[in-house]
Structure formats: structure tokens, C-alpha cells
Amino acid sequence: MKGIIFLTAGFAAGFIFYHLFLHRRMKSRYAKDMELIHRASDELSSALQPERLPDRINALFARLTGIKRCCIMLYDAQHDALVIRAGTGISERAKRDIRFKPGQGIAGRVFSTGGTEFVDDTAIDASYMEFFKGTERPSERLLCLSLKFKSRVYGVINLHCGAVRGRDVPFGAMEMHLIHTLANISAAAIANSQFYVQSVSDGLTELYIHRYFKQRLEYEIEIANKYSLSLCLMMFDIDYFKRLNDTYGHTAGDYVLKNLGCILKQSMRDTDVCARYGGEEFAVILSDTGIENAEESAERFRKRVEDVEYHFNGRVINVTVSVGVSGYRANENKEDFIKRVDTALYKAKETGRNRSVRL
């Protein structure tokens, strides 16, 4: 009898110690996750690099959940669709081509409702497979959360949870609480970022203004010096822009400037900083980019502009640009860097225009 009592007591003590151990582990994990949330809040509040915010948010979700495949989709008003702005384990083709209209597929549905959905098997979800009709898709679990702030939905976060089935959700209550907290912080950061971008953007071209360009270049130079990173700068202006205004009028000139801004943003990476430097002159900061790649980007953009025809009031307007590009030199000041790129631009103009020159 005593043996049974001792055995029972031993099991009870073991049970208690085991659960105390689990409780401490959970508390430790919760503390670490909350520390990550606080760091995330501080990190995402930085407004100086708004174009890199989706990558930061995506990386934070990947770290918090341990998931190897996830993506951030933000609403693009120009295309009336959700567009992938950052992703881990997502192909470049998917980032380029996948678009969900509001209400379309799981992501579009979550965007429209402003809620959260968990799909245990995407291969048998009608709305998911309808979008990917004719394409072989893996069977996987998907958690999709809206990025909502003050009743406005800015996009969604998709967490691809793998093919294991049998549980209602892939995360426990504590993890889901942390995921929702991070989603709320992310949505607030996106909202603040969009307000900030509007305040430092040119009304006509929707590119950054000269003041922001100068601040950002100073920041990128500091980062390049600190981490020994490559940094390039590209400047260009429209050839014979005064003649264009005199021939077709200033309204036509504004039309060309606005469309050129669109072409520039489409031609550059999301992380490149495109600015209207002044009048018909523009500048692009290409961080973590070598001079060869910067020169290729400059030439690709120049050719794209040359190939476009502007149709304005029944008339066809052809436009070309002259481009200067150069790489940053260690410990060089901002003014000397800009001056060298400006010299390359004027060399392009002096040697016939509609060309790119590297110095």
C-alpha cells in the first residue's frame, strides 16, 4: 500500500514539475516574443525608408512564426488589386504576376472583410483553386490575416503553414495573439508610412521631392560607409523640354512629366529611391548596387523612354532623356557625389543627348 502511495506521489510530483517546466518555458517564449513585438514596433516606426517597410514586416512575421513561406500583399489602387510587395519562399514570377482583385480568392476575400481566415487545405478550397485554375498547386495550409488600421484595410499577410493537417489552426492561442498583435502594429506602420510618403512626394509625378532626396542620400551614404556597401546615383533630364513646352504647351509638358514618373517607377526596383530633382530633372538612389548594374538600369530606362509614344490632344509626342550615373567613393561627401553625377549628365547632353554616361 505504501509503495502505491509513494508511486502515486511520485507521479503527481513529476506531473507538477513537468507542468511547471512547461509553464516556465511558455513564459520564457512569451517574454521573447513580446520583446520581438516591442522591437518590431520601434523598427517599423522609422519612416525614412518607406519602400523597405514590406520587407521588414515580412521578415518579422517569418521570425515570429518560424514559417518559411509567407508574403505581404498590399492594395494597389492603380491596378485595383492586391500585389505582392515582399515575400519569403515566394518565386520572383509569383511576385511579378500574382494579383488578387478585392473579393477574389482567399486574400481578396480577407481584404474585403477585414478579417482572418484559416484554410486547412488550399487544394480543395473553391475560391483558391478558381484563381489558379489550370495550374498545379500544392496542398497546403494557409493563414491569411488582414492588415487593418482604423477601419481601413491596407493589405493582407499570407502565412503558408505547410501540408500537415489534423488541427484546427497551426498555432496555439498565445501564438495567434502575438500574430494578431504584429499584424495590428504592421497595419499602423503602413498607414503612417503612406501618410509620410504623401507629405514628401511631388504632386504631379508622385515621386519624392528634392528635400527628401537630399535627406535620404545622406542616410544612404552613412549606411554605405558604415557597412562598406555599394551605392550609385543616377540623374537624368528630358531632352529639349523647353522646345516641347513651346510647341505643345505646358499642359502637354505636365502630361509628359507625369507619365515619365510612372515609367521611372516601373523601371526601377521597389527599393530604389526615385525623386523629382527639379523642373524636368530627376534623380534615383540605387542602394547596395554596383556601378555595372546601375549603368545597365540607366540604359534600360533610357531605351524604354525612347520607345514610348505620348498621345496628347490627337498629337504624338516623342521624348528622350540624357542620363548620368556614377558610384559612390568611400568617405566622399554628398555634394561631391551629386556634382560628379551631374557632370556625367551634362556630358551625355554635350555628346548628342539621348544617351547615358558613366563617370
Q: Does residue 255 share a domain with residue 161? A: no
Q: Does residue 224 share a domain with residue 187? A: no
Q: Does residue 240 share a domain with residue 189? A: no
Catalytic residue among 280, 295, 332, 350: 280
Q: How far is CA 257 from the centre of its chain?
A: 24
Q: Is residue 25 part of a domain?
A: no
- Give bridge partners of residue 86 from the DSSP assignment: 72
Q: Does residue 237 share a domain with residue 172? A: no
Q: Does the annotation mark 296 as catalytic?
A: no
Q: Place 270 in a pLDDT band, splitting at 50, 70 and 90.
A: confident
Q: What's the CATH number where 92 sits?
A: 3.30.450.40
- Give bridge partners of residue 275 from the DSSP assignment: 208, 283
Q: Is residue 65 part of a domain?
A: yes
The answer to whether the predicted template modeling score (pTM) of the entire model surpasses 0.85 is no
pLDDT in tens, 34-66: 666 666 666 666 656 788 889 989 988 888 888
Q: Does residue 229 share a domain with residue 175? A: no
Q: Among 166, 199, 232, which residue terminates a domain?
A: 199
Closest CA to 155 of 207, 99, 206: 99
Q: Does residue 318 share a domain with residue 234? A: yes
Q: What's the CATH number where 332 sits?
A: 3.30.70.270
Q: Is residue 353 part of a domain?
A: yes
Q: Does residue 151 share a domain with residue 59? A: yes
Q: Does residue 175 share a domain with residue 256? A: no
CA–CA gap between residue 302 and residue 308 (Å, rounded): 10
Q: Does residue 187 share a domain with residue 62? A: yes
Looking at the predicted structure, is the pLDDT value of residue 7 above 50? no
Q: Among 199, 226, 255, which residue terminates a domain?
A: 199
pLDDT in tens, 78-109: 889 999 999 988 888 888 888 999 998 889 99
Q: Does residue 243 share a domain with residue 176? A: no
Q: Does residue 188 share a domain with residue 113? A: yes
Domain holding 125, by residue range, is 35-199
H-helix or E-strand spanning residue 160: strand 152-162
Q: Does residue 54 share a domain with residue 189? A: yes
Q: Is residue 20 part of a domain?
A: no
Mean pLDDT over 132-160 rounds to: 85
SS3 of 233, please? Answer: strand
The CA-to-CA distance between both ends of the chain, in Å, stands at 93
For the ranges 92-106, 121-135, 147-161, which has the lowest average pLDDT? 121-135
Q: Is residue 272 part of a domain?
A: yes
Counted domains in the chain: 2
